Structure 1
Amino acid sequence: MAEFVLSERQGAVGIVTLNRPQVLNAWNAAMRDELTAALTAMEEDAAVRAIILTGAGDRAFGAGQDLNETKTFDPDRAEQWIGEWERLYDRIRSLSKPIIAALNGVAAGSAFQVALLCDLRVGHPGVTMGQPEINSGIASTTGPWIMREIIGLARTIDLTLTGRMMDADECHHIGVINRLVPQDKVMSESLALAELLASKPPVAMRLDRQRFREMTEEGFRDSLAAGARIQREAYASGEPARMMEQFLARKAAAKKG
């Protein structure tokens, strides 16, 4: 039974919820695996014609990687980690059904990437999105690939190297958030949009998504090969572990303060 991912269906729309709200829905290996399985179940359910992905609670769609997991990695585990992301990202990219990200709060790092892999994104004032991985000593590989596809190279360089987060207005202005609505309307707007997409001819929908995948496949595979190579080098240096320990220590001190 899934612990970190919840699934339900409303009519023709499947709703998948990341469910680690106590850590802002940060990823660990179990949640990645459960999400892959949940999306596979939605893909195989003929009654589901569109999917919504969201996060539990009102603070975060997802805070990115759980550093308590990655701070212990060695080079071999880091390469295995890239394989885990490959399986999840492949699952999202190969869906025959449209998928919408219903954003609630922060979408950072790999959660930002997952939101960008969705077809459309609905957010609210207060959403922040970005690629802050450099701040915790994680080199970005899949992030720059998907960001360049969506927002171009100049913004990709900015977000990757500064680690800054974009507010909802900036995200909407550059097309990262497709619909900007009040926070209490995010799910209803996402459901309306999902129902619209679910009403479209399914073969055309499948073929359109297939073509988007084909257009971006070469860059995706390159980012994964680079990820295995770069993460091995990064973790062999010891820098990620040091930076993550410092980041977690600052976070703990801020909570106490």
Structure 2
Amino acid sequence: MNPTVMQLTARSLLGRRRALLLLALPIVLLGLCALARVLAGFDDGLAETIDSGFATNLLGSFGIGVVMPLLGLIAGTGSIGPEIDEGSIVYLLAKPLNRYQIVVSKLVVAIGVLVVFGVLPVAVAGLVLTGSLGGITAAYALGALVAGVAYAALFLLLAVLTRNAVVIGLVYALVWESLLGGLAPGAQTLSVQQWALAVVERVLGDDAVLLGVESAVSLATGVVLLLVVALGCTAYAGRRLQSLRLTGEV
């Protein structure tokens, strides 16, 4: 990893416009949780007043199924896409830096952004809904983390491959992950959301059945596919950067 590349990437990702986009989704998630908390009342224990099934549905369908892929799209494409579009990437590539080092540096920053704006809000949402940092909260926070890593790598690669990464990624996030990934049996097996839910299901243990949490893939399959996407996309992005000509064209 290169500290200078990481610093420049963080500065770009956390610019005013992009920071507002990153804040919008967790604010909506926490707003929904706060509304549920208000409707449930404050007199009794959280776990007793808010149905656990509602918590898992909100954290799974909206937290991991909508918030994480959209944040991954913003962070993944934003970590390198603007430099490629503007042509300023040539100045970075002209330096004696390993292309894989550049990709990994940008990916680490993107993952860090997802932890702050995605994983932590999911954990806070779980705490608000259940009143506990264990159980549901810990399971979905871990699920959001593994999903975020895969999304960041996937969308970073997409930004390297095409200048239409945001549009393609938006269609993928909203249609494939948010809609088909949660409903269509065939699409579920190829959904990052379902792979992450396999991790959630394992952490919940026997409670997963009671809470209605069931992934379309086994834990082993989910973990392997998450690793394949994260490592494969990172490696291929580095390879494509090696073929990026200094004229700014792939």
TM-score, normalised via structure 1 length:
0.31
> Whose strand fraction is larger, Structure 1's or Structure 2's?
1
Task: State which structure, 1 or 2, has the greater radius of gyration over its C-alpha atoms.
Answer: 2
